Structure 1
Amino acid sequence: MDATEELNGTYFYHGHANLTPQELFNLILSENFANRTGLETTSAAMILAGQPWLPTRGKPVGATKGTSVASRLSRVILKDMRFPRGVSLYMPTGKNISTLKFTKTNRVAAFIGRSIPWLGYAEVVILLQLVAADTRRQYNLIARPKDRIAWASF
């Protein structure tokens, strides 16, 4: 048998025999997710580095308590570097999407430190979209026409 074949109405895929269409889809999804794991590790590291776990002396009322490793390191490396005069950028603050707020800053280190976890979240979304696209393409190439999944194109 080849790497992918049909047998008695079931599928054979990479050594797995008698697979239903759902099992075939799950194997392909798992395989594609594993192929992109390096990207996922980077996302997780960025998200974790941006969590406010380190204690701080004091913060204004309503501010997120604590600071992150990313914020502390960017402040050490970039010290008191500021954007050019008159430039203030909105930076994301908060631990997750439900606490997300935007505040202005003219300090480069604060902007970078607070943007890192959100870049990680964006990378996770991109990872999931890439895995879904790869899975869709590969599954629909293998599956019989009646088992194929019609995906919406947005």
Structure 2
Amino acid sequence: MSDNLYTFGIHRNLKPADLFAYVALDETAKQLGLDDLTAAAAVLLGQADIPVAGKFAGATAGTSVASLTARKLLPFKVAVRLPMITSVGLKGVRIAFTRNLGAFVGRMVPVVGEIFLAIDAIQIMRHSLTTYNRLAKPEDRLL
């Protein structure tokens, strides 16, 4: 990095790395809103943290608030088997199939939340990089 110093908002004499940190914080504050709160809530409601008895060996332990609610509100059987992501880990993604619409919706709630949060993280970094490169001198720019 160079010895160039920058100003960002009320912050003065910032090194390039400090400038990037402030830009990233500013872009994060701009991006976060009600959509992010909803996405985070979907992820949390989809956590299988409610104990359930009578599951088969190898099944994901517990169930989620989203799954319980969706099964109660959507007790319909569908003609085709719908794929559900039951767990993601070092061993890979486990997929199960169901004809129960409520089970499918309940399992998809956290997946949709995680997708929205990932999109937000990508947008924050893209905007941070663009803003930083616009403010920085050519020798301090990234990518």
Pairing 1:73–2:77 present: no
Aligned-pair CA distance for 1:98: 3.5
Secondary structure of the corresponding residue to residue 58 of structure 1: coil
Aligned partners of 1:112 and 1:40: how far apart in 2? Answer: 20
TM-score normalized by the length of structure 1: 0.84
| 2:16 aligned partner | 21
| 1:46 aligned partner | 42
Aligned-pair CA distance for 1:121: 1.7
CA distances 1:3-52 after superposition (whole Å, capped 9, x unpaired): xxxxx931111010001111000000011111122243222211110011
Which residues of structure 1 form unaligned runs of 5+? 1-7
- State the one-letter code of the partner of 1:34: A
**Number of residues paired by the alignment?**
139
Pairing 1:102–2:95 present: yes
Q: Is the 8 A contact 2:4 2:16 kept in 1?
A: no
RMSD: 1.6
Aligned partners of 2:116 and 2:25: how far apart in 1? Answer: 18
- State the one-letter code of the partner of 1:67: T
| 1:119 aligned partner | 112
Would you tell me which structure has more strand in proportion to its own residues?
Answer: 2
- State the one-letter code of the partner of 1:14: G
TM-score normalized by the length of structure 2: 0.90
Amino-acid identity (%): 34
CA distances 1:52-95 after superposition (whole Å, capped 9, x unpaired): 111212101100111100000101111x2122x2x11111002x
Secondary structure of the corresponding residue to residue 88 of structure 1: strand
Which residues of structure 2 form unaligned runs of 5+? none
Aligned partners of 1:36 and 1:42: how far apart in 2? Answer: 13
